Amino acid sequence: MKNLTRRDFNGLMIKGAGSAALMSVTSLACAMGTDQDKKKLGIALVGLGSYSTYQLAPALQDTQHCYLAGVVTGTPQKEKVWADKYNIPKANIYNYQNFDEIAKNDAIDVVYVVLPNSMHAEFCIRAAKAGKHVICEKPMAISVKECDAIINACKAAGVKLGMGYRLHSEPYTQQVKQFVKEKTFGDIKFVSAEAAYRSTGNPDQWRLNKKLSGGGALMNMGVYAVQSTIYGTGENPISVSAQEFSTRPEYFKNTDETIMAQLEFPSGAVANISTSHNFNANSMYVSGTNGWFQLQPANNYGPLSGKTSNGDIIEFPHESQQKLQMDDFAKHVLMGEPNKAPGEMGKRDMMIVEAIYTSIAKGGQKINLDLAPGFGFGGD
């Protein structure tokens, strides 16, 4: 059994296009001089729920190009807790009412919106108007229309926009992309992707409230499965058919519990996805004309794991995915490196999500998608 280590992966990445990209970034850094590297970017987290508390804030203690500079919370009791724990100045602590005053704060360069989905558009747009770069947690918004509004606001303000798609910065997903790009296992014919967990907590939590979440399992976990099919084929889908299943209507009162969908791609590849708030699943399997590879687990916070039909074990040292993601966005802002998860990626995924919901509403009818080749793909 052969282990694919980080050193092996880095060797792959510096060949071919990887070396060109490396030279390009090096040249750009030299041309820009040290001015762009004079400081780390200050990030303000908007919304101090579990993801900010247990993932993002700890990761920001280890990042190289950014740091936790401020917070925005609607819970006054959290202000002192966070200020004491992370030594955050009072001037860098905001609430939802005075948030717009962040425009005057030069210590904050990036606003990371980590709120319920229905609040993403409002605070991304307000952050852009305040002149701050924006990271938006997934899903981007609760409609394609809102995604457009966020993208347009960031463009008008001349600020950078990135999605909180942490997997694009971690090595297992990058290895999958490399397999597909180099046709290591031939032409891709089939992808199966699962992203699900069983929810047993408070039935009144915001994820189970459609006004706040915009949907259920599909909006939450399903985005990971959709993404797996896209980087597992290297293409955008051209059509989708979907089905919804409900076995606990007393708990999932107005959000989807379980959804399965079938996608078709321009090359002829097909994919199945399943997502749920009622069972546990976490994998992707990709079959090509010359073999297969898989990740299981594929989309949690890590460590991930994988193998191939060649008998290889896909294995990398574990690092915080959130740390890698936020450093990648900071390098995009500071050094002009590619944006691994641009706003257009979030919009594309919401277009697919809306098509899945439309198919369900029409009894599983096939819905065609008009996505330009490469639309929504980030830089690698």
| Per-residue confidence (pLDDT) for residue 26, from 0 to 100 | 38
Which residues of the chain are under the pLDDT cut of 50?
Answer: 1-37
CA distance 194 to 282: 5
Tokens 């699900």 found at: 196
Per-residue pLDDT tens over the stretch 286-304: 999 999 999 999 999 999 9
CA distance 69 to 108: 6
| Per-residue confidence (pLDDT) for residue 380, from 0 to 100 | 85
| Per-residue confidence (pLDDT) for residue 136, from 0 to 100 | 99
In order of their start, the domains of the chain are: 39-164 (3.40.50.720), 168-317+340-368 (3.30.360.10)
Residue 8 CB contacts under 8 Å (≥ 6 apart), including other chains: none
| Per-residue confidence (pLDDT) for residue 174, from 0 to 100 | 98
CA distance 257 to 310: 37
Structure tokens at 349: 């995924």
Structure tokens at 153: 């606001």
Q: Report the greatest alpha carbon distance in the chain.
A: 61
Structure tokens at 188: 């891709």
| Per-residue confidence (pLDDT) for residue 206, from 0 to 100 | 97
Half-sphere exposure of 235 (CA within 13 A, CB side): 20
| Average pLDDT taken over every residue of the chain | 92
pTM of the predicted protein model? 0.90
* Residue 342 DSSP one-character state: B
- Residue pair 56/114 in contact by the 8 Å Cβ criterion: yes
Q: How many residues does the chain have?
A: 380
Catalytic residue IDs: 138, 224
- Residue pair 196/141 in contact by the 8 Å Cβ criterion: no
Neighbours of 180 (CB within 10 A): 21
- Residue pair 259/224 in contact by the 8 Å Cβ criterion: no
